[in-house]
Amino acid sequence: MARTVKNTTEEFLTWLTIERRFAKSSIVSYRSRLRCFIRDVGDIEIEQFGMEHIYKLKQILHERENSEVFISVALASIKGLLLYCKNQLFIPLRFDPEDIKLPKRPRREVLYLQSEEIRRFRESIDTRPIYGLRFRTLVEVLLGTGMRISEALSLNINDIDFQTKETLVVGKGNKQRTVFFSDDAIYWIKQYLDRRTDKNPALFITTGEVPKRLTNQDNTRYFKRQRIIAGINKKVTPHCLRHCFATHLAMNGAPFTEIKNLCGHSRLETTITYYVGITDKNRAREAHAKYLRY
């Protein structure tokens, strides 16, 4: 049977999950984009796939006025599948998938919380119910380590060295790095574990008679609800807390090389692109206050 986009998709996504350690959210997004490709362009045989199919996809997406981010993910998903067919399945292709150029994503202002907003968000969490204590613990872990939400939710209790306050996580691209916990994060982890009576190895679990490992979908409503309770007008998400971690390090003078390592960025340029504007703006504000005289 000839290989097509449709009959190769799930195999490709499984490979991304196991070998490349893609997050579940990324897999869901890739699956959705590949289904859209099949619907709009067709279930093309891999050996017959040509650049004309990419042009057709681009035309359709632009006519629908999709965002540059949406288009980029759509192209990345089909490019990734073709590279998988070429490099893993050794299927001869009509063109090099590397020739598929992704649009540059517009640089967006990094969303983070000021120190006062972080204090309000923390203190607004009611830790008396176990789910509230769990949420406070998750917030402290994200703020105190800079982990991605997928990394935090994949932690097992035995992964954490409470003496050295560190753990090993596997991030994007199947890359392993050491993550360090703040004193606050360790404190709240211990508080949370002291309240638990189950034997589930996962650090973050659901409540109920049969607890399971917590998923990011379980957390969405908690972040939205807590933002309102805390009176914060910004969109607070797990990734926002990761930005808080890196941004406050940058504003306090941490070298970008160390922020890169702590965040698990593969390239220093990624770290600089995200956070150098923040530090420049901070310095500009200080200079404005210090030197402007008439």
Residue type, 238: P
What amino acid positions are annotated as catalytic residues? 148, 172, 239, 242, 265, 274
The 3 state secondary structure assigned to the chain is CCCEHHHHHHHHHHHHHHCCCCCHHHHHHHHHHHHHHHHHCCCCEHHHCCHHHHHHHHHHHHHCCCCHHHHHHHHHHHHHHHHHHHHCCCCCCCCCHHHCCCCCCCCCCCCCCCHHHHHHHHHCCCCCCHHHHHHHHHHHHHHHHCCCHHHHHCCEHHHCECCCCEEEEECHHHCEEEEECCHHHHHHHHHHHHHCCCCCCECCECCCCCCCECCHHHHHHHHHHHHHHHCCCCCCCHHHHHHHHHHHHHHCCCCHHHHHHHHCCCCHHHHHHHHHHHHHHHHHHHHHHHHCCC
| Greatest extent of the chain over all pairs of C-alpha atoms, in Å | 79
